[in-house]
């Protein structure tokens, strides 16, 4: 059965991914593979949350 995560957890994951991208200059996939195990989610899930945060304006786009 899938787990439900609150919006704060999703936002935190998106921020952590963003921080890794900016600090280490790595791809979103690599950043998600680093962050996801810490949050006990798959890297695909972390990527979806990070991309949703960018689309909704809750995270800055590192490419700009």
Residue 24 C-alpha from the chain's centroid: 15
In a domain, 2, yes or no: no
Is residue 41 one of the residues assigned to a domain?
Answer: yes
Q: What secondary structure does DSSP assign to 35-50, as a single string?
A: HHHHHTS-HHHHHHHH
pTM: 0.81
**Helices first, then strands: H and E counts in the chain:** 3, 0
What does the alpha-carbon distance between residue 5 and residue 46 come to, in Å, rounded to a whole number? Answer: 11
* Token pair 């921020």: residue: 15
Q: Is residue 64 part of a domain?
A: no
* Average pLDDT of adjacent 10-residue blocks, the chain of 64 residues: 82 94 94 94 95 83 51
Residue 62 resides in a domain = no
Domain that holds residue 51: 7-55
* 1 belongs to a structural domain: no
The helix (H) or strand (E) run that includes residue 31 is helix 28-39
| Domain count within the chain | 1
Q: Does 63 reside within a domain?
A: no
């Amino acid at each position: 059965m899938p787990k439900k995560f609150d919006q704060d957890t999703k936002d935190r994951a998106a921020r952590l991914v963003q921080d890794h991208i900016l600090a280490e200059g790595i791809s979103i996939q690599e950043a998600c593979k680093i962050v996801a195990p810490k949050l006990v989610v798959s890297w695909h899930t972390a990527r979806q949350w990070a991309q949703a945060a960018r689309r909704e304006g809750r995270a800055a786009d590192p490419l700009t």
